[in-house]
């Protein structure tokens, strides 16, 4: 029962071109902003001696595509789970509920499908990013890094699918989901430190943002995605200033957050959102 249902969820999402497009809208906006504004800002922050080199291009594009990839793991679950609200509104869910299939499994199928779609499209995103980086700088991501990124895509997709599921479970109309997705698409660029690098904020605002899962996960993506590029460009030199300014590393109250703490935060958010998801399953009881 689960496989046909997952297939159904994926088909209805992927056959709706506008839904797919709007799930990627913030990604498009980031690319657009980067081309006209963020790119030059970033170039200026690279040590003068390296500006215009393939190594600098590798770093700048790794920063860009790590952000794009992270954002897609947030916006795609929100975009996909719009269909859960639509299914409630149009009575499709009722049609599922009058069958002997357990209701919890039917509802969980939406959450699972969100993770699968987000991860699947994340892989596409990663491939596109790698191709662009190769074309621009002739560098390729190390194989281990690619697998590490894939694991992060899955991790982040699971966290934000659970969050999206909890939020969507409160909504009853497609109008509300449209408003929510616009809000998410707009805010995510700020909350992930992409539209405005986190170093531009005061340390207090930066600390508050660092407590949110959006900045924590985007930071993890950057750490993994950009590790090779940072090593290539900076070699043994210190890149601490760059890393803090562009949100590769995070600080709370002047204390640097180690990578393991970001994973711990991620696990905390995932557990929390899953618990809330289970609580929200009651919405679908009679």
Partner 1 sequence: MIDIKNLYKDYERTRALHGISFSVRPEAFFALLGPNGAGKSTTIEILSTLKSKTAGTVQVATHRLDEADGAIREAIGVVFQTSALDATLTVRENLEVRGAFYSKDRSRIRRRIDEVADEIDIREFLDRRVGTLSGGQRRRADLARALLNRPEVLLLDEPTTGLDPRSRERIWRLVLKLKRRHRMTIVLTTHYMEEVNDCDQVVVLHEGRIVAEDSAQRLRERYAHDKLLITPASPALSSRLEREGIDCHPLGARLHIPVVSPFQAIELIQRFEADIETFEIVKGTMDDVFLNLTGRTLSDHDASVA
Residues in contact with partner 1 by CB under 8 A are 1, 3-5, 7-8, 11-12, 15-16, 90-92, 94-101, 286
Taking the complex as a whole, the smallest distance from the CB of residue 97 to partner 1 amounts, in Å, to 6
| Whole-number CA gyration radius for the chain | 20
88 vs 164 by CB, closer to partner 1: 88
Taking the complex as a whole, the smallest distance from the CB of residue 77 to partner 1 amounts, in Å, to 20
Sign of the torsion angle spanned by Cα atoms 178, 183, 189, 195: positive
Taking the complex as a whole, the smallest distance from the CB of residue 117 to partner 1 amounts, in Å, to 15
3 vs 204 by CB, closer to partner 1: 3
Quick count: other Cβ atoms within 10 Å of Cβ 214?
25
Taking the complex as a whole, the smallest distance from the CB of residue 15 to partner 1 amounts, in Å, to 4
Contact present, 39 and 60 (Cβ < 8 Å): yes
Taking the complex as a whole, the smallest distance from the CB of residue 80 to partner 1 amounts, in Å, to 14
109 vs 218 by CB, closer to partner 1: 109
| Residue 118, burial from CB neighbour count under 10 angstroms (0-12, 13-18, 19+) | buried
Q: Which residues of 181-196 are buried (b: 16+ CB within 10 A; e: fewer)?
A: beebbeebbebbbbbe
Task: Give residue 121's Cα distance to chain centre.
Answer: 11
101 vs 252 by CB, closer to partner 1: 101
204 vs 286 by CB, closer to partner 1: 286
């Amino acid at each position: 029962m689960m496989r046909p249902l997952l297939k159904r969820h994926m088909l209805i999402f992927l056959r709706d071109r506008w839904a797919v497009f709007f799930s990627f809208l913030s990604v498009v906006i980031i690319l657009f902003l980067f081309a006209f504004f963020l790119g030059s800002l970033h170039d200026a922050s690279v040590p003068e001696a390296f500006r215009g080199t393939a190594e600098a291009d590798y770093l700048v594009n790794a920063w860009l595509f790590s952000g794009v990839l992270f954002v897609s793991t947030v916006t795609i679950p929100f975009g996909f789970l719009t269909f859960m609200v639509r299914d409630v509104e149009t009575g499709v869910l009722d049609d599922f509920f009058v069958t002997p299939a357990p209701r919890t499994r039917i509802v969980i199928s939406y959450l699972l499908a969100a993770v699968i779609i987000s991860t699947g499209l994340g892989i596409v995103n990663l491939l596109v990013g790698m191709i662009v980086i190769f074309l621009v700088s002739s560098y390729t991501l190390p194989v281990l890094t690619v697998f590490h990124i894939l694991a992060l895509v899955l991790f982040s997709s699971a966290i934000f699918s659970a969050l999206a599921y909890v939020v969507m479970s409160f909504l009853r109309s497609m109008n509300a989901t449209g408003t929510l997705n616009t809000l998410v698409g707009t805010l995510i660029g700020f909350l992930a430190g992409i539209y405005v690098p986190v170093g531009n904020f005061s340390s207090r605002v930066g600390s508050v943002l660092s407590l949110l899962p959006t900045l924590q996960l985007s930071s993890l993506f950057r750490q993994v995605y950009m590790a090779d590029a940072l090593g290539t460009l900076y070699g043994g030199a210190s890149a601490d200033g760059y890393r803090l300014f562009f949100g590769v590393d995070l600080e709370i109250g002047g204390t640097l957050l180690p990578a393991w703490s970001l994973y711990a935060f991620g696990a905390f958010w995932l557990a929390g959102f899953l618990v809330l998801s289970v609580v929200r399953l009651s919405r679908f009881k009679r």
